[in-house]
Each structure stands twice: as C-alpha cells, then as structure tokens.
Amino acid sequence: MGMKSVVQIVDSKALQETKVTDTKKKGVCEMNAVRQTAQKPLRVRHYVAGGEENGGGIGRLVGYIRQSGSQADHRVTDTRGPWFSPMISSIRLAQAILTMAGTRIVSPQTVHHIHVAGRGSTRRKLILSACARSLGCIHMLHLHDYDYAADLSERSPRQIRAIRRMFDGADRVLVLGQRDRRTIFDLLDNTSQKVTIQHNAVPDPGVAPASNKSKSDPIRLLFLGQLGPRKGVPELLRALADPALSQLPWQAVLAGDGPVDKYQEEAKALGLGDRVTFTGWLKASQVEVLCRKSDILVLPSHGEGMAMAVLEGLAHGLTVVTTPVGAHTEVLTDGVTGVFVPVGNVKALADTLGRLIMHDKERSAISQAGRAHYLWHFSIAAYAARLDPLYRSTVQQARAGRDVRADAT
C-alpha cells in the first residue's frame, strides 16, 4: 500500500472520529440542558396588549392559564395599556422591554411568551421580539388573529421581511389551528418543526344545577363578543327579526362592548326592543351567570381565529351556532357538537335558530355532545397539561442550540 493511500485512510478515520466527537458533544449538551431544566422551576412571562383585564380574549386566556394549576410560575406584562394611546402605549412598551431585560438577567431560563395579533399588535411585537433576540431570551410567539394571512397581504415587502425574521427568530411558534399553521409555513417558506397548534381553552364551569325551567319558558339565546360587523351582529339582528321567529318563544342577550347604543336603536327599529337585551361589557363572573341561564350560544362571525365564546358555550353545555371560519371547523362537527351557518346568510341563520328553538331533542343532543367534546379536548386543565411540556421542551431545545453554537465558536 502506497504512502498516499495510507494518508487517505488516516484522514478518513480522523474525519469520522471528529464527527463522532461532535455528535457526542451535542448529545451531552442536550442532556445537560434537560437535567438543568428539570432541576429548576419553570417560569413564564406573558406579554399581552391590555394585560389580563383589558386584553380581550387573549387576556382572558392568559388569566385562565394562570388559574389552571399549571406547574409554571406565570407573570403578565401589559405591552399597550387599557387601550391604544400614542404616548401611554409607547411608555408601556418601553416598560415591557425593561421588564424583559431585567428578567433575562435574574432568571435567564424564563420563557417569554409573546402574544401577537395583526395590525398594531404586530408592530409592537416586532420591537419586543427584536429585543428578545438581542437579549438572547428564550421566547415563543403565540399567534391570535381572525385572518393573519389577509393582514400580511396588505403589508409592504420590507414589513414582510421583518415579520418573517420575527417568527423565524422565535424558539417556538404557537398557532390556533391549521389555517394559521399554513400561514406561518408560507411566511417562513418551510415546514418548520417549531410551529405547534394549540387550540384555545376555557375553565370547566362544572355541572350546572338542575334547572327549574318549564316548557312555557322562552329559549334564551346568548351572543358573547364585541358588537360589530366582524362578529355578525347586523346579520344576527336581521335574523331575529325574521317572520319565522316572531311566533316562537325566545329571548336574546347580546353581551359585549362596542357601539351598544347604535345596535339598540337598530333592534328597536326592527321591532325587537322587548326581546333583545344589550348588556355592554361584562366581567367573567357576570358572563358565567348569563351562560348558566342560556340555551343557545350564537356567534355568526365573519372571521375568527378560535373564538373563546364558542368554547365557553361548549363548556356550559349550550347549543353552539356559529360560522365555519378560522379553526371552528377543526373544533366542531356540524350537526353533532355544534351547528354551522354560512357567513352572512341571514335566512340560514334564522332558519337554524328557529329549528333549534322548536326542537328540544335536537338542541339537547347537540349540547350534550358539545359538552362532552369540550371536556375531552378544550378544558383549561387539558390545555395546561399540553402547554407545560411545550415550555420545558422549548427551554431544553433553546439551551441545547445555544450550547452547540457556543462550542462551535
């Protein structure tokens, strides 16, 4: 064997040994990260516009997570203030950045859980996420939006590049359903393993006490959400004014903020003044009382990510009537655990409500199936049981990746 062949064999063996050493080193880094993570308490800081009290559905979800019995220590930071104000919101965002920096120093393993939607929320979270990357924070982005693909389509190429960096730089991305998962995949131009579907959840209100309701009592319809066209309020009012419903026994409550006076006047003009009640914004405890008194949850939205109102309806054993938008088709089976009506179709909505008001057996069967479906998939206890391992694996993967990169340098 010639000297040249011997050199080639030696070089080949050296290369193989180097690869084995690198693989072992990476494995050791990952094992060390797992051990260290398991030894330390799990801390999570949520960044929510408006915080728990004024953060809408996102704020409610975060509040539910904190009360879920999760193994993690959850803290909440408001990134906007109760509502948008150029001066106040800028100050709140600056305070959130300082909080992030301080947390990075005193608790470097904290998971920074950044909740993002479209429009102004994305602008704020672009800044916050850039700070998280610069500070080396372990962070995840949680997308909540009724149509983020449409929001992206209206942005400039420069903004798209910045948003792509924001999602690509996160250690994990949570989305509400398959539609949002496809949106992020298209944005990142790959099928990144960091994207995880996590449907929303609500607390279990428990079994409602036996009702004293008689057959002569009206069926109670409930709408939960911000009053406006996106939630389908104009169509709902016109459906309730349909002649087919005029002779049936029902009462409706529309609970939510927005232009309440405007829709009250519209209801009166449609002859619904004595059958439809508007409550304005309600606390969670007040919503709980309303849900326990109601029979049907109706939400004819034009766009949703995964409506918290739908899950609250399922949790309380209400018959849910909604539209096949967002992740609703992943959560509900039409005619089994809920009922779908086409978006914007007033006649279909009126006919569906009329049928459910008249047919107790159908209404009861759907409500019972919906309640069972909720208990199995969408209770906050089940949500926390899925979320805690995601936090821990995110910490492990982030630490392992950082250790490997440090060794490479």
Q: How far is CA 50 from the centre of its chain?
A: 15
Is residue 211 helix, strand or coil? coil
CB atoms within 10 A of CB 182: 14
Question: Per the structure block, which two tokens stand in for 2?
Answer: 């010639």
Q: Using an 8 Å Cβ cutoff, are 227 and 259 in contact?
A: yes
What is each CA distance from 298 to 290, 319, 352, in whole angstroms? 13, 8, 10
pLDDT of residue 53: 85
C-alpha–C-alpha distance, residues 49 and 205, integer Å: 26
Question: Per the structure block, which two tokens stand in for 402?
Answer: 């950082």
C-alpha–C-alpha distance, residues 296 and 323, integer Å: 14
Residue that is written with structure tokens 């509502």 in the block: 83
Strand arrangement of the beta sheet that strand 276-280 belongs to? 276-280, 250-255, 219-224, 296-299, 319-322, 339-340
Question: Per the structure block, which two tokens stand in for 6?
Answer: 């011997």
What is each CA distance from 204 to 64, 96, 312, 380, 388, in whole angstroms? 10, 32, 9, 7, 19
Structural domains of the chain sorted by starting position, each given as residue range(s) with its CATH number in brackets? 41-201+381-408 (3.40.50.2000), 219-378 (3.40.50.2000)
Report the amino acid identity of residue 151. Answer: D
| Cα angle value 289/81/165 (rounded, 5°) | 110
pLDDT of residue 70: 85
C-alpha–C-alpha distance, residues 331 and 200, integer Å: 10
Q: Using an 8 Å Cβ cutoff, are 373 and 196 in contact?
A: no
State the Rg of the chain over Cα: 26
Report the amino acid identity of residue 120. Answer: G
Report the amino acid identity of residue 334. Answer: D
Is residue 375 helix, strand or coil? helix
What is each CA distance from 377 to 175, 331, 361, in whole angstroms? 16, 9, 24
Beta-sheet pairing, 111-116 with 43-48: parallel
C-alpha–C-alpha distance, residues 105 and 96, integer Å: 14
Q: Give pLDDT tens digits along the chain (409 positions).
A: 444 443 344 345 444 544 444 544 444 444 444 444 445 689 999 999 999 988 888 998 999 999 888 889 999 999 999 999 999 999 999 999 999 999 999 999 999 999 999 999 999 999 999 999 999 999 999 999 999 999 999 999 999 999 999 999 999 999 999 999 999 998 887 656 789 999 999 999 987 655 666 677 999 999 999 999 999 999 999 999 999 899 999 999 999 999 999 999 999 999 999 999 999 988 888 999 999 999 999 999 999 999 999 999 999 999 999 999 999 999 999 999 999 999 999 999 999 999 999 999 999 999 999 999 999 899 998 898 899 999 999 999 888 766 555 555 5
pTM: 0.81
